[in-house]
């Protein structure tokens, strides 16, 4: 019998729905991976009691994650933020020490992290520091993936980030992380993709970075990246059928169409790292946490599924 690969699961904000997802889907994911949950037994028992769930006998946990606290469903506080960050760091440490083969992260609350004194805005920028690598945030499902050049920054700051050096490096890193077999769609920044400089010159810079990256990659297919595409038509059915991978210049440019099309099934993947990390592509859902609401489990199951299919690349 083939031994299942070990996956560390960070439990996210315990005031949210993450632990419910973990408990309800444990028996399902155990068919594909051997999960290790980064939560103390006492905190798990408290959450399970509030949910009125039983804990599976093979639900393996780790002690001494962080100080225990009283779970307050739907509340943003520093104690839950501290615990969520510690759970994440434990999962990363296990992967660094090669005690697990990959990590899957359940949803955090960014404000809770801030209240806890965590200076990172999310998992991805923390991973950049942990590994001193330029991690790339990619989200999507089997039908469409979107990588983000800029992520959690104000919209007013995006244009100033568009420069040939950083974009070139981003395109090269993305290519080596994915090894796409088909052309990658690159979105322009401006309406009409700038209309050849009439509505902005960022597309000229993007095109130069594409050309430069293609030379560095030495890809036999010179059209591995498209020229900057008009954003408002890039996701129409006749265009979308031609592409699996997109690169967006900013957060909402990529995630608005993704979530309109594939909200329930999309996941978050960190590229360009020495470890494989996936996550659900939804939040803590504080409004329904611990209220007996039936959850949609597809994003979590897809995040685990991506790990089982792609571990061979790590």
Q: Give me the domains of the chain, ranges plus CATH numbers.
A: 1-133+273-314 (3.40.718.10), 134-272 (3.40.718.10)
For residue 35, what pLDDT is reported?
A: 98
- Check whether 1 has a pLDDT greater than 60: no
pTM, rounded to two decimals: 0.93
For residue 199, what pLDDT is reported?
A: 85
- Check whether 41 has a pLDDT greater than 90: yes
For residue 219, what pLDDT is reported?
A: 66
- Closest to 202 in 3D by CA, of 215, 193, 210: 193
For residue 223, what pLDDT is reported?
A: 81
Q: Which residues contact 251 (CB under 8 A, 6 or more apart)?
A: 148, 150, 151, 152, 153
* Cα 101 from Cα 221, distance rounded (Å): 33
- Closest to 100 in 3D by CA, of 90, 85, 87, 114: 90
Do 124 and 151 meet the contact criterion of CB atoms below 8 Å apart? yes
pLDDT tens digits along 148-167: 999 989 999 999 999 999 99
Hey, what are 19's tokens?
């632990």
* Cα 52 from Cα 230, distance rounded (Å): 50
Q: Provide, rounded to the nearest whole percent, the portion of the chain with pLDDT above 70.
A: 98
Q: Which residues contact 297 (CB under 8 A, 6 or more apart)?
A: 21, 24, 25, 28
């Amino acid at each position: 019998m083939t031994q299942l690969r070990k996956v560390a699961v960070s439990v996210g904000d315990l005031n949210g729905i993450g632990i419910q997802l973990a408990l309800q889907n444990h028996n399902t994911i155990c068919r594909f991976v051997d999960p290790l949950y980064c939560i103390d037994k006492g905190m798990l028992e408290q959450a399970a009691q509030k949910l009125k769930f039983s804990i599976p006998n093979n639900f393996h946990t780790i002690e001494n994650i962080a100080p225990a606290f009283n779970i307050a469903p739907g509340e943003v506080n520093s104690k839950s933020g501290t615990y969520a960050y510690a759970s994440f760091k434990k999962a990363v440490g296990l992967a660094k020490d090669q005690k697990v083969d990959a990590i899957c992260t359940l949803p955090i609350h960014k404000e809770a992290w801030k209240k806890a004194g965590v200076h990172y805005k999310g998992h991805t920028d923390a991973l950049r520091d942990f590994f001193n690598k330029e991690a790339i945030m990619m989200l999507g499902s089997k039908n469409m993936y979107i990588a983000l050049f800029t992520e959690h920054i104000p919209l007013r700051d995006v244009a100033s980030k568009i420069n040939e050096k950083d974009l070139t490096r981003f395109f090269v890193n993305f290519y080596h992380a994915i090894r796409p077999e088909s052309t990658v769609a690159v979105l322009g920044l401006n309406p009409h993709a700038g209309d050849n400089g009439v509505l902005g010159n960022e597309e000229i810079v993007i095109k130069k970075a594409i050309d430069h990256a293609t030379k560095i990659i030495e890809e036999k297919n010179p059209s591995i990246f498209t020229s900057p595409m008009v954003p408002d038509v890039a996701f129409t059915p006749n265009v979308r059928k031609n592409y699996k991978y997109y690169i967006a210049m900013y957060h909402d440019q990529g995630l608005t169409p993704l979530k309109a099309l594939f909200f329930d099934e999309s996941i978050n993947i960190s590229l360009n790292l020495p470890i494989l990390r996936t996550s659900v592509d939804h939040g803590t859902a504080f409004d329904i946490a611990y209220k007996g609401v039936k959850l949609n489990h597809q994003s979590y199951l897809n995040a685990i599924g991506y790990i089982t299919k792609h571990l061979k690349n790590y």
